[in-house]
Chain A
Amino acid sequence: MNRFLLIPLALFIALVVFLFIGLQRDPHEVPSPLINRPAPACQLPQLQEQTKTFTAQEMRGKVWLLNVWATWCVACRDEHPMLIEYAKSGAVPIYGLNYKDDRAAALQLLKEEGNPYVLNAFDADGRVAIDYGVYGAPESYLIDRNGIIRFKKIGPITPEVWEGEILPLARRLNQ
């Protein structure tokens, strides 16, 4: 048999491998250039106590999760009960970035559906979110003790992601 007949087969197998890997990825996901870079400066009024501010700087020394959310974001509502469970475990403190939202509506939601956040920063015009490279809520950032972003999740944090990726990383960072 002519050896050259194996070439189309080899190409086909290579194509299958590429498709197998590629089709499992989300084409809409934009990888963040901020991984392993310092979290951008953030100085915003708090959601609940408007006279107080929240700065990312004050979180130095802690490993924490920043969750970008809004009441108008349907996927965030889906994520909310899961966040409450994660917050109960106490493994990683969750801070919220309320993104381009209505203050009253946000407070109402937290009252009605529970509050997994230690506190919330209120980003009215979304400017801080742009600095963080947010393009679609919900997005979450795991930030280490030195203020470096170590992990970003685009979309709701499913239990698989929480237990498979965030918890182990948080444990490593806490050592």
Chain B
Amino acid sequence: MKRIAWLLAILFSLVPAPAIAGEAQPNEDPQVEARMKALTEQLRCLVCQNETLADSRADLAEDLRREIRKEIKAGKTDPEIIAFLTQRYGDFILYNPPVKRTTYLLWFGPFVILLGGIVLLYRYLGRRKKLIQEKPLTVGERKQAEDLLRSQV
């Protein structure tokens, strides 16, 4: 009897739990939220600069998410919302740096250096190859080689 009482007590204490889960916002349009998620995952939180706007719990992130939600509901397109943010915070708010004249070095630099390195390596090896003079084996040396190979079998 006591065990049943305990079981019922535990069961009843679990029931109201979902009703008080505080984080979920009341009835947000799932389409708006989906767009929000897609957008904010491309954006950086400026306070915790390693986190996306989607993940960050910072006050500023909450404020910016609220603003973005407003803009989405007002019917703004994604590029318009991104422009809204970069006008105020600059390109740093984007996780992927845009490909502009000032970031060409960032985007293409490594490939250019890699290419340059390959070219240099190619020329260096070519030069080394010329230094190697291959002398054909003498008869005695050939016999020695064959004996060694046969003895290893």
CA A34 to CA B86, docked complex, whole Å: 10
Chain B contact residues, majority secondary structure = helix
Is the C-beta of A32 less than 8 angstroms from some C-beta in chain B? yes
- In Å, the complex CA distance between A33 and B91 comes to 8
**What's the tally of chain B residues with a CB closer than 8 Å to chain A?**
16
Which of A28, A100, A126, A130 sits near B88, CB closer than 8 Å? Answer: A130
Chain B, 60-79, contact with A by CB distance < 8 Å: what is the 0/1 string?
10011001000000000000
Q: Is B107 an interface residue (CB 8 A)?
A: no
When the two chains form their complex, are residues A132 and B88 in contact, meaning their CB atoms are under 8 A apart? Answer: yes
Near B by CB (< 8 A), chain A positions 117-175 give 125-127, 130-133, 135-136
The B44-64 residues at the A interface (CB cut-off 8 A) are 46-47, 49, 59-60, 63-64
Of the residues B86, B87, B88, B90, contact of A31 by C-beta under 8 Å:
B90
A31, A34, A126, A127 — most chain B CB neighbours (10 Å): A126
Let me know if B63 and A33 touch, CB within 8 A. Answer: no
Q: When the two chains form the complex, which single residue of B49, B60, B88 contacts A33, counting CB atoms closer than 8 Å?
A: B88
With a cutoff of 8 Å between Cβ atoms, the chain B residues found around residue A133 in the complex are 88-90
Quick one: closest A residue to B124, CB to CB? Answer: A4
The answer to whether A135 and B90 touch across the interface, beta carbons within 8 angstroms, is no
Does A127 lie within 8 Å of B89, measured CB to CB? no
Q: With A and B bound together, what is the CA distance between A6 and B66 in angstroms?
A: 56
B67 touches A33 (CB 8 A): no
Residues of A within 8 A of B64 (CB): 130
- A30 within 8 Å of B (CB atoms): yes
B92 within 8 A of A: yes
Task: Give the residue name and chain of the A residue nearest to B90 (CB).
Answer: A33
B59 to A100, Cβ gap below 8 A? Answer: yes
Instruction: Check B90 against A32 for contact (C-beta < 8 Å).
Output: yes
A131 to B85, CA, bound (A): 9
Which A residues are CB-close (under 8 A) to B88? 33-34, 130-133
CA distance A140 to B50 in the complex (A): 25
B86 touches A125 (CB 8 A): no
Shortest C-beta distance, A70 to chain B (Å), equals: 10
Q: How far is the CB of A32 from chain B (nearest CB, A)?
A: 7
Cβ of A135 and Cβ of B59 under 8 Å apart? no
A174-B89 Cα distance, complex, nearest whole Å: 28
Q: Is the CB of B89 within 8 A of A30?
A: yes
Residues of A within 8 A of B92 (CB): 30-31
Q: Which of A100, A131, A136 contacts B47 (CB 8 A)?
A: A136
Task: Report 8 cross-chain contacts, Cβ distance below 8 Å, ordered by A residue.
Answer: A30-B90, A30-B93, A33-B89, A125-B63, A127-B67, A132-B88, A135-B89, A136-B47
Binding site for B on A (CB under 8 A): 28, 30-34, 100, 125-127, 130-133, 135-136
The 3 residue pairs across chains A and B that have the minimum distance between CB atoms: A135-B46, A33-B90, A133-B88
